[in-house]
Chain A
Amino acid sequence: MRALVVVKIGGSNLSNIDSYVRAAGYVRQLYEAGLLPIVVVSAAKGVTDKLLVALQGDRNAFYEVVELYSELARGIGGEKLEHEVRGLAEVPLKAMKAGLERPVLGDIVLSYGEKASKLVLSSAIETEVGRVVRVDAEEVIKTGSNHGDASIIYEKTEPRVEWLVKTASENNVVIVIEGFIGSDEKGVTTTLGRGGSDLTATAIAALGGIGEVRLITNVKGVYSVDPDLGIKPRVVKCLSYREADEAARHGVKRFNAKTFEPLLFFPGPVVRIGDYEHLGSSVMRELGEGDKGPKIVHASLSPYPRVVVIGEDGSRLRTIRRVVEVLESEDVEIQGLEAGVGRQSVVVYMPKDYIPRAVRLLHKHLIGEAGS
């Protein structure tokens, strides 16, 4: 029997016809390699932003999105698919006209991005693999009614994920499902908030007992430091769930607060992050001793300027001492230090002006630049 793998194709990888075909080609590669992917699909690049504009009252922004998907659909699946994609727009259009209250309306409008993207991608996968079944996330991911940032209700979602897994494996079909979307008890569409597609992927894997999740994006993995700070980052090879969760809490780029939540409750799957060619980072339940230690240096200005060193560490005191030594050796003013029990980070508070220097120093001495 094929091993199941959950693959999330991120919006940065979905823009034009070629990109959808490329994504479908990747799914075919996996299938040919003997795996059975459950594909979690995001909205195409830029679509969510446009839909947010539409929600501000600019109806044209919505029509632009419909046109974008219609063109993709025509190119990939012909007129029938285009018709379906246009048909999907009816509900959000009606909801906008009816003037529903903002959070509920927001979810109906935003979810169009993923729903249409799913139709297009599944049609492309149909051409590449042949065996594909579309499933509505609203029927699988059950959430509370906190529109815009709904939480998954795991006990209600679990049996539905079980169905999904069973359907895939018993019929040997690739399942395509929208990320980011769920539905509440009344069946009304909800969305899972920022990073919701990643959360859909990890939740399906965690609840479905699937060993591997691939979060496909446009970078090679998780970086040890924000490249925008002018420091050459390393790709972090492995992280534990707790480290990833810690990174998310501190707002590290590409980590979203809720992505790792299901793994803390239902541990098991390895989450691999990267692009089509290279899945540079793996997030797993436990790390070997050799994989522990500082991994990410992250700066944040709000609510207080601070630099955070993230990493599970067998010897926390040594790391704390090292952080202080490195900073003191270059006269960085330390205003406070935080290293709570059970947390996977050391947080150093300092005046704002010291931050760039502190990040550079800590990254250099605790992690080391790429290629060094």
Chain B
Amino acid sequence: MAELKIVVVGFGNVGRGLVKTLLFKSDRLTRYGVNINVVGIVDSKGMVYKPEGFRPVELLKILETPRSGLGSLEAAKRYVDLKELYEKTKPDIHVELTPANYETGEPGLSNIRFALNEGAHVATANKSPLVFDFKGLTELARSRGLVLKYTATVMGASSFLSLLKHMKLQDVYSVRGILNTTSNIVLSLAHEKLVEVERAVEEAIVLGIAERDPSIDIDGYDAAAKLTIISNVIGKPVDFKSIERVSLRGLSLREVVMAIKEGKAWKQVSSIDYRSQKARVALEKVEPGDLLYHVRGAMNGVVIETDTGSYFFMGKGGGGVETAHTVANDVLAIALREV
């Protein structure tokens, strides 16, 4: 049985989902000859660690803490210090689940660099570090003989990126998809209930579907980040800053109603066209003949055009537990490489 120690940095929806997944799917991991020990968990205000790994009951108690609540546990440190965490626990795998930040890439960027420099493999669902330094991070990992996995960064609840990564011999002409779940839910709500986009956003925030600051999603940053990652995986990188973005906020109820009358629907469509060298996150009125018309609510979908034909991928875009499964699969993949 391979014993691996992981630290979970970021303990929100996905971080909690990951700990639950590791707990509840431990049998499956055992079947693969792997035992994953969570040795440290970090949120923005504090951290808990235990060099020999937390027992299941301890993890369940940690899961009971409210958001930003790790520091309230008895054994917790009320500060975040990765250096101390690493010195005490010597993790094999670092899981980066902090929020995305498209101004600096932090804290994810420094955290991943730190982890790789300390000799830990990394699995991340946080996109922004890759947007800022895809090449640097992947090269750092390679040079140190480590693995950097990021499958959950695009269509988080699925293994889409792994499939795409596998298509090494195809020549990709274009990528076109619905990549941001919050925007898709908001637009679906606006069409179904005939409400203004602003109102649909407000509703999504209260329901916990959208972030309190929904800008990252509805102003197109998240989708642009995903395009950047996809372009890097394809091997034809597009710079994040060069991607044109349009906000959903500009869409009026009148335009929504008109689209419905025409039998169409507005979608936040992200695309890279390598022939015209254009990358953008736009609002498009799509018709039923377009595959993306049928990608509604919590679903994401991407059409990849290549020299061997078109491929359509569709799946749930995110969700704490679902995304956590993708991250856990990455952790397992790293572990299996170690076995």
Contact = CB atoms under 8 A, between A and B. Distances in A.
Contact of A186 (B72, B297, B321): B297
Contacts of B208: 91, 187-188
B57 A173 contact: yes
Interface in B47-101: 56-57, 60-61, 64, 66, 72
Given A167-B24, A186-B209, A188-B209, A133 B203 contact: no
Nearest to B209: A186
B66 A131 contact: no
A104 B207 contact: yes
B332 interface: no
B23, B297, B320 pick with most chain A CB within 10 angstroms: B23
Interface string B192-211: 01000000001101111100
A266 to B, nearest CB: 20
Given A133-B61, A173-B57, A98 B203 contact: yes
A277 interface: no
Interface in A107-151: 108, 131, 133-134, 139
A87 interface: yes
Interface string B163-180: 000000000000000000
Contact of A95 (B64, B206, B297, B298): B206
Contacts of A87: 66
Interface in B12-61: 20, 23-24, 56-57, 60-61
B319 interface: yes
A175 to B, nearest CB: 9
A186 B61 CA distance: 26
Contacts, number: 52
A171 B319 contact: no
B185 to A, nearest CB: 7
A131 B57 contact: yes
A88 to B, nearest CB: 9
A169 B193 CA distance: 45
A231 B80 CA distance: 68
B207 A171 contact: no
B254 to A, nearest CB: 21
A235 to B, nearest CB: 39
Interface residues of A, number: 25
Interface residues of B, number: 24
Nearest to B208: A187
A32 interface: no
A84 to B, nearest CB: 6
Interface string A78-89: 001000100100
A94 interface: yes
A171 B56 contact: yes
Given A133-B61, A139-B321, A173-B57, A167 B23 contact: yes
A134 B16 CA distance: 14
A166 interface: yes
Contacts of B20: 163
Interface in B270-329: 297-298, 319-321
A289 interface: no
Interface string A15-35: 000000000000000000000
Nearest to A166: B24
Contacts of A173: 57, 60
Nearest to B316: A185
Given A94-B206, A104-B207, A188-B208, A171 B57 contact: yes
A40 B250 CA distance: 46
Nearest to B204: A186
Interface in A172-195: 173, 185-188
Contacts of B24: 163, 166-167
A187 B319 contact: yes
A100 interface: yes
Nearest to B67: A87
A44 to B, nearest CB: 21
Contact of B203 (A100, A134, A166, A171): A100
A98 B64 contact: no
A170 interface: yes
A91 B193 CA distance: 22
B314 to A, nearest CB: 15
A118 B23 CA distance: 23
Contact of B206 (A98, A139, A166): A98
A108 B205 CA distance: 13
Contact of A84 (B66, B206, B298): B66
A307 B297 CA distance: 49
Interface of B: 20, 23-24, 56-57, 60-61, 64, 66, 72, 185, 193, 202-203, 205-209, 297-298, 319-321
11 contacts: A100-B206, A100-B207, A131-B57, A133-B61, A133-B64, A167-B60, A170-B56, A173-B60, A185-B298, A186-B297, A187-B319
Q: Which 4 A-B pairs have the closest CB atoms?
A: A163-B24, A133-B60, A171-B57, A98-B206
